Amino acid sequence: MNEHPDIPGFAYADGGVVAPLGFRSSGVSAGLKSGNKLDLALIAAEKTIPAAAVFTTNKVAAAPVIVSRRHIAGGLARAVIINSANANACTGAQGQRDAVAMADAVAEALDCAASDVIVASTGVIGVPLPAGKVTAAVPGAVEALDSRSGDTAATAIMTTDTFAKQVAISLDVSGRRITVGGMAKGSGMIAPNMATMIAVITTDAPMTSEACDAALRHAVALTFNRVTVDMDTSTNDTCVLLASGAAGGDDIAPGSPEFKQVLEAIWVVAEQLARMIARDGEGATKLITVTVSSAASDSDAAKAAFTIANSPLVKTALFGNDANWGRVAGALGRSDAELDPDAFDIDFAGIPVCRAGEGVAFDEAKALEALRQPEVTIGVELHLGDGSATVWTCDLTYEYVRINGEYRS
């Protein structure tokens, strides 16, 4: 099931999170960002529906993560409320009260239980959330709910993101037309004092809560968890899946042929969003896809791919359009992956630069041209087994240093 999905007959759709039937979204200004910029997003279903969520593994979990873990425990949700500009992290007991207040305000406006509302925040760490501003803006967000476009919601969750990230696809599943949509934010993992990857995926497939949970975990493991901009998993990372069932038909449970199809659609949506996050890494000039193949195991392949993708030396070399495979070899050697130092091969942008652990002559001009493209691949073969993994990252640039070094000074 780790083979990359190949979905016959799928089509891209418009609308992001509201592309599937049964969802509305809005983005409003709660006054957290300056200049009345959008900073509060709401995604709501018509009723309480099956849902699942995964959260950061960071031991310093933000207040909304603590509250939302509790709320998702029953496998149901009606809405997701997300503010940007303040992470509500390292804010103690008051922070948790503030996260609860956000859920309460949405529950009151939508006439549902507070435990049906998932809360997420992204922004500055360690500063009390102006919760009053947020709750005061909730009725307006409910008023603005709209089933035609996910644009304002996708815009309202941006922090250092340079573009709003949305995608949706539809496909036929046993005669039903199923749509999966999504939106995400995230560039640096804890951008200028900001936190977080946040993603919301919606579908009108009639999935059970168990199917939501299984599909989301599978997709996240191979997509959002394979993106690395600077290793800094945040205090606030949150990914939610909501299944309205509005496409009709029988419930889809794990293990069924329909489940596999819907899972693959969710996977494709998550992968598209993950690639957008890597491409929009702070200051990035290019998307880098690192694929390690013929490793002793999939987990070895992932270790090696992450070590390469996180190496500042590899990332600066790619900023300089430099096919500097010695740095990839160095990263390979210090990863925990099993390695035969006389057997590994490295390609940059499809050009062989290292074979059996030794350099091979290559056309520097051709390599330079290939590395100047906005998407670059690094391919590694270890010749040890059939493990493989793909990780997405970006280059490390002057702009990354500027964004992250000059934020407050």
The residues binding a second copy (CB under 8 A) are 57-61, 87, 89-92, 124-127, 188-190, 193, 195, 230-235, 310-313, 316-317, 319-322, 324-327, 329-334, 339, 341-342, 354, 356-359, 368, 396-398, 400-402, 404-409
The amino acid at 396: L
Residue from 283, 298, 311 nearest 389 by CA: 298
Find the shortest distance in angstroms from Cβ 245 to a second copy: 36
SS3 282: coil
Report the residue number, 189 or 199, with the smaller CB distance to a second copy.
189
Report the residue number, 207 or 332, with the smaller CB distance to a second copy.
332
Q: Rounded to 5 degrees, what are φ and ψ at 167? A: -160, 155
Interatomic CA distance for residues 195 and 139, integer angstroms: 26
SS3 391: strand
Beta strands in 161-316 (DSSP E): 165-173, 176-185, 198-203, 238-243, 287-295
Find the shortest distance in angstroms from Cβ 199 to a second copy: 19
Interatomic CA distance for residues 211 and 217, integer angstroms: 10
Numbers of helices and strands, H then E, in the chain: 11, 15
Helices 312-319 and 325-334 meet at what angle, rounded to 10?
Answer: 160
Report the residue number, 1 or 93, with the smaller CB distance to a second copy.
93
Token pair for 116 = 């049906």
Find the shortest distance in angstroms from Cβ 282 to a second copy: 9
Report the residue number, 154 or 308, with the smaller CB distance to a second copy.
308
Find the shortest distance in angstroms from Cβ 35 to a second copy: 23
Find the shortest distance in angstroms from Cβ 379 to a second copy: 17
Residue from 371, 383, 235, 228 nearest 311 by CA: 228
Interatomic CA distance for residues 211 and 206, integer angstroms: 9
Find the shortest distance in angstroms from Cβ 307 to a second copy: 9
Find the shortest distance in angstroms from Cβ 389 to a second copy: 18
Tell me how far apart the terminal alpha carbons of the chain are, to the nearest angstrom.
Answer: 48
Interatomic CA distance for residues 107 and 125, integer angstroms: 26
- Of the residues 56, 179, 196, 307, only one is catalytic, namely 196
Report the residue number, 25 or 321, with the smaller CB distance to a second copy.
321
Token pair for 288 = 């880098």
Interatomic CA distance for residues 276 and 392, integer angstroms: 10
Find the shortest distance in angstroms from Cβ 237 to a second copy: 10
Report the residue number, 166 or 234, with the smaller CB distance to a second copy.
234
β-strand pairing of 351-355 with 198-203: unpaired
Report the residue number, 113 or 313, with the smaller CB distance to a second copy.
313
CB 245 within 8 A of CB 208: no
CB 320 within 8 A of CB 396: no
CB 179 within 8 A of CB 291: no
Report the residue number, 218 or 315, with the smaller CB distance to a second copy.
315
Kindly give the residue spans of alpha helices, DSSP state H, lying in 127-256: 131-143, 151-156, 209-222
Question: Is residue 196 annotated as part of the catalytic site, yes or no?
Answer: yes
β-strand pairing of 165-173 with 11-12: antiparallel
Residues carrying an active site annotation: 196
